[in-house]
Amino acid sequence: MKAVCLALPFLAKWKVRVANPRLQITQAYNLVMTFIPQPPQIPLLLKLGIYVSEKITGRIMLPPRILAWYPKAAIGSGIMEALVAHEDGRMNQRMLKLIRMAASYAVACPFCVDMNSYEYRKHGITDEEAESLRGDYESVASFSERERLAIAYTRLISATPLKFHPEMVDKVKAAFSEREFVILASTAAQVNFWARLIQALGIPPAGFGE
């Protein structure tokens, strides 16, 4: 608790507006929970990018702050995040949200689950559908066949070891165009990248669910 109290002034210093007192405590707690601290100095260009992301989210975004120890990793990861699909034809926001949530649960990444599940109802996802992504999604009748295939393929991408059965690949190819196939695979893989990186650095959830 003492460490949390010491971290609180940094929230004011970084000028991230957090109206919710509970969220403010959570973020202060997160500052002292990572495996390593953020560097004392962050390059100006990277600092600007962090400022913009934190202004938009209203959260302390620890991943880029910790990655600032090696700016190339922070910038490369940021570019990948900026270019990821958000909506593309039939790969709409609901579909992509389901893929990100399914991948987050599959790799058991608390940060990813917290961030990728945020405001899922705004994307037309019901509470029942969201809860099913933790386990038996096949029992939920409201998922379309394409959504079921996307979730199943996302779980394969998120599994260790990786193994893609020809029968499943053929089903996905039959339901998705080549462009959609790439969007599905790259979206799920992106979540897997962040999940492993974030957990390797000991970064706790950012508090999107607060």
204 part of a folded domain: no
Q: Does any domain span residue 209?
A: no
One domain, residues 23 and 97:
no
Cβ(101)–Cβ(134) below 8 Å: no
Among 8-12, 146-150, 185-189, whose mean pLDDT is lowest?
8-12
Q: What is the rounded distance in angstroms from the CA atom of residue 27 to the CA atom of residue 107?
A: 23
CB contact at 8 A, 28 and 11: yes
Residues 50 and 122 in one domain: no
Percent of the chain with pLDDT over 70: 84
* 136 in the same domain as 70: no
What is the total count of domains within the chain? 2
CATH code of the domain in which 124 resides:
1.20.1290.10
Q: Is residue 79 located within the same domain as residue 97?
A: no
Q: Taking residues 15-29, report their average pLDDT.
A: 50
Task: Give residue 27's pLDDT.
Answer: 53
Calpha distance 157→135 (Å, rounded): 16
How far is CA 184 from its chain centroid? 15
**Of 83, 110, 145, at which residue does a domain stop?**
83
Q: Is residue 208 part of a domain?
A: no
- Asked if residue 130 has pLDDT above 50, the reply is yes
Q: Do 74 and 109 have their domain in common?
A: no
The mean per-residue pLDDT over the stretch 114-123 comes to: 95
The confidence score (pLDDT) of residue 30 equals 55
| Entry pTM | 0.84
pLDDT, averaged across the chain: 88
Q: Is the per-residue pLDDT at 61 higher than 50?
A: yes
How many CA atoms, within 13 angstroms, populate the side-chain half-sphere of residue 129? Answer: 20
The last residue of a domain, from among 63, 83, 103: 83
Q: Is residue 88 part of a domain?
A: no
54 and 137, same domain (yes or no): no
Residue 22 lies in a domain: yes
Residue 190 and residue 123 in one domain: yes
Domain boundaries, position 183: 93-199
